[in-house]
Amino acid sequence: MKAILVTGGAGFIGSHLADYIIENGDSTVVVLDDLSGGFVKNIHPKAIFVKGTITNRQLINQLFRKYRFTYVYHLAAYAAEGLSHFIKRFNYMNNLIGSIHLINASVNFNVRCFAFTSSIAVYGTNKLPMTEDLKPKPEDSYGIAKYAVEKELEVTHTLFGLPYVIFRPHNVYGERQNIGDKYRNVIGIFMNNILQGKDLIIFGDGKQIRAFSYIKDIIPGIAQSVANKRTHGQIFNIGSDIPTSVNELAEEVMEIMGRRVPIRHVRERKEVKNAYSNHAKFKKFFPKFRETSLTVGLEAMTQWVKTEGARKSKRFKNIEIRKNLPQTWG
Protein backbone atom coordinates (compact mmCIF):
# COMPACT_ATOMS: atom_id res chain seq x y z
CA MET A 1 0.00 0.00 0.00
CA LYS A 2 1.34 3.42 -0.95
CA ALA A 3 1.99 5.99 1.76
CA ILE A 4 1.20 9.60 0.88
CA LEU A 5 2.07 12.78 2.79
CA VAL A 6 -0.24 15.80 2.72
CA THR A 7 1.27 18.81 4.47
CA GLY A 8 -1.29 21.34 5.63
CA GLY A 9 -3.86 18.56 5.54
CA ALA A 10 -5.98 20.01 8.36
CA GLY A 11 -6.30 23.28 6.50
CA PHE A 12 -8.64 24.43 3.78
CA ILE A 13 -7.24 23.05 0.53
CA GLY A 14 -5.19 20.31 2.17
CA SER A 15 -8.13 18.70 3.96
CA HIS A 16 -10.20 18.55 0.78
CA LEU A 17 -7.23 17.02 -1.04
CA ALA A 18 -6.67 14.40 1.66
CA ASP A 19 -10.37 13.50 1.55
CA TYR A 20 -10.25 13.03 -2.21
CA ILE A 21 -7.16 10.81 -2.07
CA ILE A 22 -8.62 8.62 0.68
CA GLU A 23 -12.04 8.32 -0.95
CA ASN A 24 -10.63 7.50 -4.40
CA GLY A 25 -7.90 5.01 -3.54
CA ASP A 26 -6.44 2.67 -0.96
CA SER A 27 -3.33 4.59 0.11
CA THR A 28 -2.20 5.38 3.63
CA VAL A 29 -2.53 9.16 3.96
CA VAL A 30 -0.48 10.99 6.58
CA VAL A 31 -1.60 14.53 7.39
CA LEU A 32 1.05 16.85 8.82
CA ASP A 33 -0.31 20.13 10.20
CA ASP A 34 0.55 22.48 13.07
CA LEU A 35 -3.09 23.65 13.34
CA SER A 36 -2.07 27.30 13.03
CA GLY A 37 -4.77 27.76 10.40
CA GLY A 38 -6.39 24.35 10.21
CA PHE A 39 -8.71 22.37 12.44
CA VAL A 40 -8.74 18.78 13.67
CA LYS A 41 -12.38 18.42 12.60
CA ASN A 42 -11.29 18.93 8.98
CA ILE A 43 -9.18 15.76 9.03
CA HIS A 44 -10.61 12.61 7.46
CA PRO A 45 -11.10 9.85 10.06
CA LYS A 46 -9.02 7.43 7.98
CA ALA A 47 -6.03 9.78 7.80
CA ILE A 48 -3.06 9.46 10.15
CA PHE A 49 -2.69 12.86 11.81
CA VAL A 50 0.68 14.15 12.96
CA LYS A 51 0.66 17.51 14.71
CA GLY A 52 3.84 19.32 13.80
CA THR A 53 5.46 21.90 11.59
CA ILE A 54 7.44 21.56 8.38
CA THR A 55 10.10 23.78 9.97
CA ASN A 56 10.97 20.85 12.27
CA ARG A 57 13.62 19.09 10.18
CA GLN A 58 14.03 16.24 12.65
CA LEU A 59 10.31 15.46 12.57
CA ILE A 60 10.25 15.57 8.77
CA ASN A 61 13.09 13.06 8.52
CA GLN A 62 11.45 10.79 11.10
CA LEU A 63 8.20 10.73 9.13
CA PHE A 64 9.92 9.99 5.82
CA ARG A 65 12.00 7.25 7.42
CA LYS A 66 8.92 5.66 9.02
CA TYR A 67 6.45 5.82 6.14
CA ARG A 68 8.68 5.84 3.02
CA PHE A 69 6.25 8.10 1.18
CA THR A 70 5.52 7.39 -2.46
CA TYR A 71 4.05 10.84 -3.10
CA VAL A 72 4.21 14.18 -1.30
CA TYR A 73 1.58 16.90 -1.65
CA HIS A 74 2.98 20.07 -0.12
CA LEU A 75 0.25 22.55 0.77
CA ALA A 76 1.41 23.80 4.18
CA ALA A 77 1.99 27.56 4.04
CA TYR A 78 1.00 30.84 5.59
CA ALA A 79 -0.64 32.31 2.52
CA ALA A 80 -1.14 35.96 3.46
CA GLU A 81 0.38 37.89 0.57
CA GLY A 82 -0.21 41.38 1.94
CA LEU A 83 0.86 40.55 5.48
CA SER A 84 4.03 38.83 4.25
CA HIS A 85 5.72 42.24 3.85
CA PHE A 86 5.46 42.68 7.61
CA ILE A 87 6.43 39.14 8.68
CA LYS A 88 9.41 38.45 6.45
CA ARG A 89 11.30 36.09 8.74
CA PHE A 90 8.16 34.12 9.59
CA ASN A 91 7.24 33.97 5.91
CA TYR A 92 10.58 32.63 4.74
CA MET A 93 10.93 30.14 7.60
CA ASN A 94 7.48 28.67 6.99
CA ASN A 95 7.07 29.05 3.25
CA LEU A 96 10.66 28.52 2.06
CA ILE A 97 12.88 26.82 4.66
CA GLY A 98 10.15 24.37 5.67
CA SER A 99 9.68 23.50 2.00
CA ILE A 100 13.41 22.83 1.63
CA HIS A 101 13.22 20.32 4.50
CA LEU A 102 10.54 18.44 2.57
CA ILE A 103 12.42 18.59 -0.73
CA ASN A 104 15.62 17.28 0.87
CA ALA A 105 13.78 14.40 2.52
CA SER A 106 11.98 13.60 -0.73
CA VAL A 107 15.34 13.19 -2.48
CA ASN A 108 16.87 11.16 0.33
CA PHE A 109 13.90 8.80 0.56
CA ASN A 110 13.20 8.44 -3.17
CA VAL A 111 9.77 10.04 -3.41
CA ARG A 112 8.23 9.33 -6.82
CA CYS A 113 6.61 12.75 -7.24
CA PHE A 114 6.41 16.00 -5.26
CA ALA A 115 3.28 18.10 -5.90
CA PHE A 116 3.58 21.71 -4.78
CA THR A 117 0.89 24.37 -4.52
CA SER A 118 2.57 27.64 -5.44
CA SER A 119 0.53 30.78 -6.19
CA ILE A 120 -0.19 33.31 -8.91
CA ALA A 121 1.56 35.70 -6.52
CA VAL A 122 4.74 34.69 -8.37
CA TYR A 123 3.59 36.68 -11.43
CA GLY A 124 3.29 40.08 -9.76
CA THR A 125 1.94 42.80 -12.03
CA ASN A 126 1.98 41.11 -15.40
CA LYS A 127 0.22 40.62 -18.72
CA LEU A 128 -3.40 39.49 -18.34
CA PRO A 129 -4.63 36.84 -18.29
CA MET A 130 -1.47 35.39 -16.79
CA THR A 131 0.00 32.36 -18.56
CA GLU A 132 2.60 29.90 -17.34
CA ASP A 133 5.22 31.14 -19.82
CA LEU A 134 5.28 34.68 -18.41
CA LYS A 135 8.40 35.71 -16.53
CA PRO A 136 7.57 35.76 -12.79
CA LYS A 137 7.90 39.15 -11.09
CA PRO A 138 6.74 38.61 -7.49
CA GLU A 139 6.05 41.80 -5.56
CA ASP A 140 5.63 40.48 -2.03
CA SER A 141 7.59 38.21 0.29
CA TYR A 142 5.02 35.44 -0.05
CA GLY A 143 5.33 35.37 -3.84
CA ILE A 144 9.12 35.48 -3.59
CA ALA A 145 9.12 32.46 -1.27
CA LYS A 146 6.78 30.51 -3.53
CA TYR A 147 8.88 31.25 -6.60
CA ALA A 148 12.05 30.24 -4.76
CA VAL A 149 10.50 26.85 -3.97
CA GLU A 150 9.52 26.45 -7.63
CA LYS A 151 13.13 27.05 -8.68
CA GLU A 152 14.40 24.68 -5.99
CA LEU A 153 12.19 21.93 -7.36
CA GLU A 154 13.48 22.62 -10.86
CA VAL A 155 17.16 22.41 -9.91
CA THR A 156 16.55 19.47 -7.56
CA HIS A 157 15.00 17.55 -10.43
CA THR A 158 17.92 18.42 -12.70
CA LEU A 159 20.56 17.29 -10.21
CA PHE A 160 18.81 14.51 -8.28
CA GLY A 161 15.93 13.42 -10.52
CA LEU A 162 13.06 14.27 -8.14
CA PRO A 163 9.84 14.37 -10.22
CA TYR A 164 7.57 17.32 -9.40
CA VAL A 165 4.38 19.10 -10.43
CA ILE A 166 3.68 22.75 -9.61
CA PHE A 167 0.23 24.31 -9.35
CA ARG A 168 -0.47 28.04 -9.17
CA PRO A 169 -3.97 28.34 -7.68
CA HIS A 170 -5.61 31.67 -6.95
CA ASN A 171 -8.28 33.08 -4.64
CA VAL A 172 -9.68 29.70 -3.64
CA TYR A 173 -12.85 29.74 -1.53
CA GLY A 174 -15.41 27.30 -0.21
CA GLU A 175 -16.33 25.07 2.69
CA ARG A 176 -13.73 24.77 5.50
CA GLN A 177 -12.05 28.07 4.72
CA ASN A 178 -10.79 29.71 7.90
CA ILE A 179 -13.15 32.68 7.91
CA GLY A 180 -11.62 33.92 11.16
CA ASP A 181 -8.34 34.88 9.47
CA LYS A 182 -8.64 38.61 8.83
CA TYR A 183 -5.40 38.81 6.85
CA ARG A 184 -6.32 36.64 3.86
CA ASN A 185 -9.22 35.22 1.83
CA VAL A 186 -11.56 38.12 1.14
CA ILE A 187 -14.67 35.97 0.68
CA GLY A 188 -14.22 34.38 4.09
CA ILE A 189 -13.58 37.78 5.67
CA PHE A 190 -16.71 39.24 4.07
CA MET A 191 -18.89 36.35 5.19
CA ASN A 192 -17.55 36.42 8.74
CA ASN A 193 -18.23 40.15 9.00
CA ILE A 194 -21.74 39.81 7.57
CA LEU A 195 -22.59 37.13 10.14
CA GLN A 196 -21.58 39.60 12.86
CA GLY A 197 -23.21 42.65 11.29
CA LYS A 198 -19.85 44.34 10.79
CA ASP A 199 -18.75 46.60 7.94
CA LEU A 200 -17.12 45.09 4.88
CA ILE A 201 -13.64 46.61 4.69
CA ILE A 202 -12.33 47.20 1.17
CA PHE A 203 -8.81 48.48 0.55
CA GLY A 204 -8.76 51.29 -2.00
CA ASP A 205 -11.50 51.81 -4.58
CA GLY A 206 -12.51 48.15 -4.79
CA LYS A 207 -11.93 48.01 -8.54
CA GLN A 208 -9.07 45.54 -8.17
CA ILE A 209 -9.84 42.34 -10.07
CA ARG A 210 -9.41 38.70 -9.10
CA ALA A 211 -10.88 35.38 -10.27
CA PHE A 212 -12.35 33.38 -7.40
CA SER A 213 -11.92 29.60 -7.58
CA TYR A 214 -14.25 27.10 -5.92
CA ILE A 215 -12.40 24.54 -3.82
CA LYS A 216 -13.99 21.39 -5.25
CA ASP A 217 -13.04 22.37 -8.81
CA ILE A 218 -9.29 22.34 -8.23
CA ILE A 219 -8.87 19.22 -6.07
CA PRO A 220 -9.16 16.37 -8.64
CA GLY A 221 -6.40 17.71 -10.89
CA ILE A 222 -3.96 18.20 -8.04
CA ALA A 223 -4.73 14.75 -6.64
CA GLN A 224 -4.37 12.97 -9.98
CA SER A 225 -1.21 14.74 -11.13
CA VAL A 226 1.42 12.74 -9.24
CA ALA A 227 0.54 9.42 -10.89
CA ASN A 228 0.47 10.93 -14.39
CA LYS A 229 4.01 11.18 -15.73
CA ARG A 230 2.84 13.54 -18.48
CA THR A 231 2.36 16.23 -15.82
CA HIS A 232 5.77 15.78 -14.20
CA GLY A 233 7.99 18.82 -14.58
CA GLN A 234 5.02 20.98 -15.53
CA ILE A 235 3.63 24.19 -14.04
CA PHE A 236 -0.13 24.74 -14.15
CA ASN A 237 -2.36 27.70 -13.42
CA ILE A 238 -5.47 26.27 -11.80
CA GLY A 239 -8.76 27.92 -10.93
CA SER A 240 -11.51 30.14 -12.28
CA ASP A 241 -11.53 31.96 -15.62
CA ILE A 242 -14.07 34.60 -14.54
CA PRO A 243 -12.62 37.99 -13.42
CA THR A 244 -14.58 39.80 -10.70
CA SER A 245 -13.90 43.12 -8.95
CA VAL A 246 -13.86 43.28 -5.17
CA ASN A 247 -16.80 45.71 -5.30
CA GLU A 248 -18.82 43.24 -7.37
CA LEU A 249 -17.85 40.45 -5.01
CA ALA A 250 -19.04 42.37 -1.95
CA GLU A 251 -22.46 42.94 -3.51
CA GLU A 252 -22.86 39.31 -4.56
CA VAL A 253 -21.80 37.94 -1.17
CA MET A 254 -24.31 40.17 0.62
CA GLU A 255 -27.07 39.20 -1.80
CA ILE A 256 -26.45 35.47 -1.39
CA MET A 257 -26.14 35.72 2.38
CA GLY A 258 -29.39 37.71 2.50
CA ARG A 259 -28.05 40.54 4.61
CA ARG A 260 -26.64 43.98 3.85
CA VAL A 261 -24.00 45.69 5.92
CA PRO A 262 -22.13 48.96 5.29
CA ILE A 263 -19.14 48.92 2.96
CA ARG A 264 -16.19 50.94 4.22
CA HIS A 265 -13.31 51.83 1.92
CA VAL A 266 -9.96 52.36 3.62
CA ARG A 267 -6.56 53.42 2.34
CA GLU A 268 -5.28 51.10 -0.37
CA ARG A 269 -2.48 48.73 0.52
CA LYS A 270 0.46 47.54 -1.50
CA GLU A 271 -0.87 44.78 -3.73
CA VAL A 272 -1.08 43.73 -7.36
CA LYS A 273 -4.09 45.62 -8.75
CA ASN A 274 -5.38 42.99 -11.17
CA ALA A 275 -4.53 39.28 -11.12
CA TYR A 276 -6.22 36.45 -12.95
CA SER A 277 -4.97 33.54 -15.04
CA ASN A 278 -5.38 31.63 -18.25
CA HIS A 279 -6.00 27.89 -17.70
CA ALA A 280 -5.76 26.50 -21.24
CA LYS A 281 -2.70 24.42 -20.38
CA PHE A 282 -4.36 22.84 -17.35
CA LYS A 283 -7.50 22.01 -19.34
CA LYS A 284 -5.39 20.34 -22.03
CA PHE A 285 -3.85 17.98 -19.47
CA PHE A 286 -7.06 17.62 -17.42
CA PRO A 287 -9.92 17.74 -19.96
CA LYS A 288 -12.54 16.67 -17.40
CA PHE A 289 -12.15 19.93 -15.48
CA ARG A 290 -15.43 21.76 -14.94
CA GLU A 291 -15.76 25.22 -13.40
CA THR A 292 -18.39 26.06 -10.80
CA SER A 293 -19.93 29.50 -11.25
CA LEU A 294 -19.20 32.07 -8.57
CA THR A 295 -22.87 32.23 -7.61
CA VAL A 296 -23.19 28.48 -7.12
CA GLY A 297 -19.90 28.29 -5.22
CA LEU A 298 -20.86 31.17 -2.94
CA GLU A 299 -24.23 29.55 -2.25
CA ALA A 300 -22.51 26.33 -1.15
CA MET A 301 -20.05 28.21 1.04
CA THR A 302 -22.83 30.35 2.54
CA GLN A 303 -24.77 27.27 3.58
CA TRP A 304 -21.67 25.91 5.32
CA VAL A 305 -20.79 29.26 6.93
CA LYS A 306 -24.27 29.73 8.37
CA THR A 307 -24.08 26.26 9.91
CA GLU A 308 -20.62 26.88 11.35
CA GLY A 309 -21.31 30.40 12.58
CA ALA A 310 -18.97 33.36 12.93
CA ARG A 311 -15.39 32.96 14.10
CA LYS A 312 -13.42 35.33 16.24
CA SER A 313 -10.60 36.97 14.30
CA LYS A 314 -7.25 36.59 16.00
CA ARG A 315 -4.52 39.19 15.74
CA PHE A 316 -1.23 37.95 14.29
CA LYS A 317 1.14 38.19 17.25
CA ASN A 318 4.54 38.24 15.60
CA ILE A 319 4.50 41.35 13.41
CA GLU A 320 8.13 42.14 12.54
CA ILE A 321 7.65 45.50 10.78
CA ARG A 322 4.93 47.94 11.84
CA LYS A 323 5.73 50.80 9.49
CA ASN A 324 2.86 51.19 6.97
CA LEU A 325 0.93 48.30 8.54
CA PRO A 326 -2.78 48.80 7.69
CA GLN A 327 -4.70 49.98 10.76
CA THR A 328 -7.25 47.18 10.38
CA TRP A 329 -4.40 44.67 10.76
CA GLY A 330 -2.78 46.23 13.82
CATH number at residue 33: 3.40.50.720
Range of the domain at 110: 3-172+213-238
- pLDDT, position 273: 93
Give the pLDDT confidence score for residue 257 in this predicted structure: 98
Does the residue 317 lie in any domain? yes
Beta carbons within 8 Å of 58's beta carbon, 6+ residues apart: none
Pairwise pLDDT comparison (203 vs 314), residue with the higher score: 203
How far apart (Å, rounded) are the C-alpha atoms in residues 77 and 91?
A: 8
The reported pLDDT for the residue numbered 25 is: 93
pLDDT-derived band at 244 (thresholds 50, 70, 90) equals: very high
Domain co-membership, 125 together with 265: no
Task: Provide the 3-class DSSP secondary structure of residue 40.
Answer: helix
The CATH number that applies at residue 308 is 3.90.25.10
pLDDT (tens digit, 9 = 90+) per residue, 266-275? 999 888 999 9
Burial status of residue 322 (CB atoms within 10 A of its CB: 0-12, 13-18, 19 or more):
exposed
The answer on pLDDT for 313 being more than 90 is no
Helix (H, G, I), strand (E, B) or coil at 197: coil
Domain shared by 98 and 233, yes or no: yes
pLDDT digits (tens, 9 = 90+) for 22-54: 999 999 999 999 999 999 999 999 999 999 999
What pLDDT score was predicted for residue 214?
98
For the chain, the helix, strand and coil percentages under 3-state DSSP, each to the nearest 5: 40, 15, 40
Confidence check: pLDDT of 277 > 90? yes
The yes-or-no answer on residue 142 being catalytic is yes
**CA-derived radius of gyration, the chain:** 19
> Residue 35 falls within a domain, yes or no?
yes
| Domain membership flag for residue 247 | yes
- Last residue in a domain, options 195, 221, 238: 238
pLDDT of residue 317: 86
Which of the residues 73, 78, 123, 142 is marked catalytic?
A: 142
Structure confidence at residue 100 as a pLDDT band (50, 70, 90) = very high
Exposed / middle / buried, residue 221 (Cβ in 10 Å: 0-12, 13-18, 19+): buried
40 assigned to some structural domain: yes
